[in-house]
Structure 1
Amino acid sequence: MSAPSASTSAGAVPTPGGLVPRETVELLRILRDGVPRTRAQLAESSGLARSTVAARLEALMDAGLIAPAADAASSGGRPPARVTFNAGARFVVAIDLGATHGVIAIADLAGSVLLAESSPLTIADGPERVLSWALSTAKRLVKVSGRPRSELAGVGIGLPGPVEHSTGMPINPPIMPGWDRFDVPAYVRRTFDVPVLVDNDVNVLALGEHAVSWPLEDDLLFVKVSTGIGLGIIAGGRLQRGAAGSAGDLGHVRVPFTRDTPRHGDVDADLEALASGPAIARYIAERGTPAASSADVLALSRGGHPDAVAGIRQAGRDLGEVLATCVNLFNPSVVVVGGSMARAGEHLIAGVREVVYRQSTPLATQHLQIVPAAAGETGGVLGAAIMVAQHLLDPV
Structure 2
Amino acid sequence: MGTHVIKMPDIGEGIAEVELAQWHVKVGDLVVEDQVLADVMTDKAMVDIPSPVHGKVISLGGQPGEVMAVGSILISIEVEGAGNLKASDQLVKEPAAIKEAAPASAAPKVEAAPVLENKPAAACRPAPQAPVARDADERPLASPAVRKHALDLGIQLRLVQGSGPAGRILHEDLDAYLAQGTQNARSGSAPSGYAQRHDEEQIPVIGMRRKIAQRMQEATQRAAHFSYVEEIDVTAVEELRAHLNEKHGATRGKLTLLPFLVRALVVALCDFPQINARYDDEAQVITRHGAVHVGVATQSDVGLMVPVVRHAEARSLWDSAAEIARLATAARSGKAARDELSGSTITLTSLGALGGIVSTPVLNLPEVAIVGVNKIVERPMVIKGQVVIRKMMNLSSSFDHRVVDGMDAALFIQAIRGLLEQPASLFVE
State the TM bucket, normalised to the shorter chain: under 0.3
Greater per-residue strand proportion: 2
Q: Which structure's relative contact order is higher, taking Cα pairs within 8 Å and 6+ residues apart?
A: 1
Greater per-residue helix proportion: 1
| TM-score (ref. length: structure 1) | 0.28
